[in-house]
Amino acid sequence: MENLFDKALKFILKWEGGYVNNKFDKGGATNKGITQYTYNNWLKNQGLQSRDVKFITDYEVREIYFKNYWLKAGCDKMSSKFALLAFDTAVNMGLARVNQFMKAAGWKYPELFIKAREAKYREFAKYGNQKIFLNGWLNRLKDLEQFIKTL
């Protein structure tokens, strides 16, 4: 039986895709959702030399997501729905946003968490060239909303 983290990781990887280096993406070069910066830090903490994120392994992706996002966001201590909301938010928007949206949700209303996240996306889209990402962000959020209903 597949555990909750692995289900969540499949969802993340569906949306994060492969290698991308979009000049408008503030995260820079990314592979499977892992930025070059995050990968360099993880490798350094493992006592390894930096290398291009293009060459990240599936094992490394899983470890980074589990340790740097799932556990740090506290997903292992949440209900299934909030664990998925928090994990995807941490990956897509950063760990700090998780608490912001949990507070907006009163720590118990997933629909309010989703509304807060949508509002933040719309706020981001007002600045510079970030508007080009809005439809993708909203599609991801709608898919996440449907996904958590299956839990």
Give the CATH number, domain containing residue 68. Answer: 1.20.141
Q: Using alpha carbons only, what angle is made at residue 119 by residues 5 and 61, rounded to the nearest 5 degrees?
A: 25
Q: What integer pLDDT is reported at residue 1 of this predicted model?
A: 57
Q: What integer pLDDT is reported at residue 135 of this predicted model?
A: 95
Q: Report whether 38 contacts 17 (CB < 8 A).
A: no
Instruction: Name the band, by pLDDT with cuts 50, 70 and 90, for residue 138.
Output: very high
Q: What integer pLDDT is reported at residue 129 of this predicted model?
A: 82
**What's the gap between Cα 71 and its chain centre?**
13
pLDDT digits 0-9 by tens, 3-14: 999 999 999 999
Q: Using alpha carbons only, what angle is made at residue 101 by residues 3 and 2, rounded to the nearest 5 degrees?
A: 5
Instruction: Tell me the residue length of the chain.
Output: 151
Domain tally, the chain: 1
pTM, 2 dp: 0.93
Q: Which tokens hold the place of 24?
A: 């408008």
Q: What integer pLDDT is reported at residue 130 of this predicted model?
A: 86
Q: Determine the structural domain holding residue 40 and report its residue range.
A: 4-148
